[in-house]
A and B are shown apart, each in its own frame.
Chain A
């Protein structure tokens, strides 16, 4: 059981600064997801935690001990690689015992560890096969087994599922979650897939351009993204951004958005913005699932439902739900609808917007404008 504390961490390759002051901490048994687009520095951060990359500035502590200059093998970590990195000439069993042999673990202990992990991962029949004779999912299991036999302080995963096909990826995701629940090791998990991050993590660190944009629990990251980058990155289809202006409606705060023909629609805000950009301009962020076909009954159920009419441009049925591209002003937005009563192509849709779940952003700083009862 172990904690990981990272403070003020920088990484520079010559003049290029890849990580610009990372602060991160994982409590005992936590599952931390590092998520971000490619090139955001998440894999570099993981390699630095592993000791495979040197630290330019800042501190990495495992269980309170500074490990900046400790060799990878002495950090008591285990890592699962994107490419699995199984040793091609060794059997699955030899792959798993290699680390224990390096550390001169007694043979009986090795056998016990293999037995325990092989049954945990259900790979007993594969132990004598070489990586070339295993399928992608089986290699993935062996790679995880190699990490598990050692009983390390920290588990590091570097995009472990990205080489699997879509269906297997979902299955393995569930397996990893089950495994973590059972083993309870502190885990750092790098992924570019926001769904993996959402489903697995106890906390998510969203990274962009070498810094952490937000570090919070999954639902908090989803509901109250710290800025427009996080809002756009987490969730699929991604959050709709509509430019508007803060105004008052019947004495209550509201957002005015421009509609075609010079009209404006005024959408009342159930909560008061706690700050106001200088010129009153804001960006309204609405998730696709917070758009509805408007009807008066719904209005009665949902406080803060605002209505605009929007022409339907494209309809995309996915089976479970139907996505529709709608036009508000000059801007296209995407909504998720129940297939029953989904918008029809060309329809002028009376669109209900759940303003209680809407976010406001400052268009200058792109940061979230917190809302609350004033």
Chain B
């Protein structure tokens, strides 16, 4: 029996290669760590300020290491703080945002899936042109649509309502959801549809039984995209609603400007920002890996 062990410490070439490798690694991690800290500092400041006492913030400045710990600002922000004359905190606006975002996300995703199904599997003369026109909406800034929407919402009596915002977001989102779903369904083999047609299935049965069951990857992408987009949207919210009807993004701004005369309520503002950020963060937390997977996924085999 011959037993030989290789000891790299005895091999000068291997030793220097190991050393270079280790130094390289250290450099890479130092570089990445540096940028991670830069990105995380604002979050740290906000989280820290939400737990500091207001006098302490005023005394030491907004950006400083916390010297006090207080949970007072959180319940105040949620249920007591006065925004634009009403003193029930931001819970009302948080609720508005949920009631607006959830239906708008579901509706725009379902409509996008149906549009994509039609535009990829039931083509008709002009369907490609129609698709091209719909995708133009992807490149259209929301400001362009402000006046037309104001007119429409006014004439159908949905001004200053959450329902009006739902309508706006469903329609504004259709370009994206249709684009996503259509490009996904284009990769679904046409033979599947033909086989189903011979099997006696019609338009809706094929959609429910064959297309939807293979759609989760793209539906997750679309839902995440729509949910975060609609939740974070500010322009339509602030223009078309006011006061108690406002979604949380619009309320944040109202909150920040409420006490413009006095000292700013940095603690409350920090809490409000963090509360507003929770739903999109949760969505990313649970769906993020599907999001990346869905965006990069090609055909279904």
A103: contacting residue among B189, B191, B200, B300, CB under 8 A: B200
Quick one: CB contact mask for A56-78 with B, threshold 8 Å, 1 for yes? 00000000000000011100011
10 additional contacts (CB under 8 A) given A79-B198, A81-B195? A47-B194, A51-B198, A83-B191, A85-B189, A85-B194, A88-B301, A98-B196, A99-B198, A99-B200, A102-B200
Q: A71, A87, A103, A132: which contacts B196 (Cβ < 8 A)?
A: A87
Binding site for A on B (CB under 8 A): 189, 191-192, 194-201, 205, 209-210, 213-214, 300-301
Contact present for A77 and B198 (CB under 8 Å): yes
Tell me if A99 and B194 are in contact (CB < 8 A): no
A52 sits at the interface (CB 8 A): yes
Whether A365 is near chain B, meaning CB under 8 Å from some CB there, is no
B152 CB to nearest A CB, Å = 40
- Bound-state Cα–Cα, A72 to B199, Å: 8
Chain B residue at smallest Cβ distance from A102: B200
Cβ proximity bits A94-108 to B, threshold 8 Å, 1 near / 0 not: 000011001100000
- A88 near B201 with CB under 8 A, answer no
A-B residue pairs, 7 tightest by C-beta: A99-B199, A102-B200, A85-B191, A89-B213, A73-B200, A85-B195, A81-B191
Q: Tell me the smallest distance from the CB of A244 to a CB of chain B, in Å.
A: 48
- Per the bound structure, the CA–CA distance linking A78 and B194 in Å amounts to 11
Contact check: which of B191, B198, B214 meets A72 at CB < 8 Å? B198
Determine whether the beta carbon of A79 is less than 8 Å from that of B205.
no
In whole angstroms, how far apart are the Cα atoms of A87 and B201 in the complex?
Answer: 13
A310 within 8 A of B: no
Contact A81 B194 (CB under 8 A): yes
In the assembly, what is the distance between CA of A90 and CA of B213, in Å?
9
CA–CA, A224 to B226, complex, Å?
67
A-B contacts, CB under 8 A, total: 61
Taking a contact as CB atoms closer than 8 A, the residue among B194, B195, B214 that contacts A89 in the complex is: B214
Closest residue on chain A to residue B210 by CB atoms: A87
**B189 and A102: CB pair below 8 A?**
no
Chain A residues, CB < 8 A from B192: 85, 87-88
CB pair A73–B198 under 8 Å, yes or no, is yes
The residue on B at minimum CB distance from A74 is: B200
CA distance A88 to B188 in the complex (A): 10
**Which residues of B lie under 8 Å from residue A102 when comparing CB positions?**
199-201, 205
Q: Does A50 contact B (CB under 8 A)?
A: yes
B189 touches A72 (CB 8 A): no
How many A residues, CB 8 Å from partner? 24
Interface residues of A in 190-220 (CB under 8 A from B): none
Q: How far is the CA of A73 from the CA of B198 in the complex (A)?
A: 5
Pull 17 A–B residue pairs with CB atoms less than 8 Å apart, ordered by A: A50-B198, A51-B198, A73-B201, A79-B194, A79-B195, A81-B194, A81-B195, A83-B191, A85-B189, A85-B194, A85-B195, A87-B196, A89-B213, A98-B196, A98-B201, A102-B199, A146-B195
Residues of A within 8 A of B209 (CB): 87, 98
CA distance in complex: A73, B194 (Å): 10
Q: Which residue of A lies closest to B205 (CB)?
A: A102
Is A88 a contact partner of B300 (Cβ separation < 8 A)? yes
The interface centre, meaning the residue of A51, A73, A146 with most chain B CB atoms within 10 A of its CB, is: A73
Q: How near does chain A come to B287, taking the closest CB pair, in angstroms? A: 20
> Given known contacts A85-B191, A85-B192, A87-B192, is B199 in contact with A98 (CB within 8 Å)?
yes
Tell me which residues across on chain B come within 8 A of A98, comparing CB atoms: 196, 199, 201, 209
Q: Is there contact, CB below 8 Å, between B197 and A52?
A: yes
Contacts of B198 in A (CB 8 A): 50-52, 72-73, 77-79, 99
Residues of chain B contacted by A79 (CB below 8 angstroms)? 194-195, 198
Give the residues in chain B near A51, CB-CB below 8 Å: 198
* Set of chain B residues within 8 Å of A83, measured between Cβ atoms: 189, 191
Q: How far is the CA of A312 from the CA of B195 in the complex (A)?
A: 52
Closest to A83 in B: B191
Q: Which of B189, B195, B205, B300 has the most CB of A within 10 A?
A: B195
Cα of A78 to Cα of B214 in the assembled complex, Å: 24
For B190, give the chain A residue with the smallest CB separation: A85
Measured in the bound complex, the distance between the Cα atoms of B198 and A87 in whole Å is 13
Min C-beta distance of B185 to chain A, whole Å? 13
A78 to chain B, nearest CB (A): 7
Chain B residues in 8 Å Cβ range of A103: 200
Across the interface, do A52 and B300 meet the contact criterion of CB distance under 8 Å? no
> Which residues from A are CB-within-8-Å of B201?
73, 98-99, 102
- In the complex, what residue of chain B is closest to A80 when comparing beta carbons? B195
Residue of A nearest to B197 (CB): A72
Q: Report the separation of the CA atoms of residues A287 and B170 in the bound assembly, to the nearest whole angstrom.
A: 70
User: How many whole Å from A131's CB to the nearest CB in chain B?
Assistant: 9
In A79-129, the 8 Å CB interface with B consists of 79, 81-83, 85, 87-90, 98-99, 102-103
Q: For residue B8, give the distance in angstroms from its CB to the closest CB of chain A.
A: 45
Chain A nearest CB, measured from B171 CB (Å)? 31
Within 8 Å CB of B189, what residues of A?
Answer: 83, 85
Docked CA distance A103–B196 (Å): 12
Q: Which residues of B contact A52 (CB under 8 A)?
A: 194, 197-198
Q: Which residues of the partner chain A approach B205 to less than 8 Å between Cβ atoms?
A: 102
